[in-house]
Amino acid sequence: MKVRYRVYEPGQPERSAEAELPPRPGLDQLKAVIMPLLGCEQMEHVWVLWEGRQADMFVDETGVLKGLPENQVASAIYRAAFLRRNPGANPNALPAIHGTAVLFESQVWW
């Protein structure tokens, strides 16, 4: 099935595309799509909400250690999901996302 995703890179316009994935993709299938976009060795899964439903975002696990620039758009998406699950919390207390982020518009991580 075709799955839409968005790529957020600091300082760049948002890009969107589609990937052909099975209904419940395995880690290797996801990595084949995500890793070339992130350009890193290790990815981290981040649970988010996209248009009111659960979605999956993947980021460079060591982006901050590499000194990559803060991704303000991806950080805002991540923090908004946290706030929805934790009303009254301070979402800015969460760490920022650094570097490229890949947001799938639906759930792909099971």
For the stretch 78-107, pLDDT in tens is 988 887 777 777 877 788 999 999 999 989
Closest alpha carbon to 103 in 39, 50, 31, 27: 50
For the stretch 29-75, pLDDT in tens is 999 999 999 999 899 999 998 888 899 999 999 999 999 999 999 99
Contact 31, 63 (CB under 8 A): no
pLDDT of residue 86: 77
| Overall average pLDDT of the 13-17 stretch | 97
What's the predicted TM-score (pTM) here?
A: 0.92
pLDDT of residue 93: 79
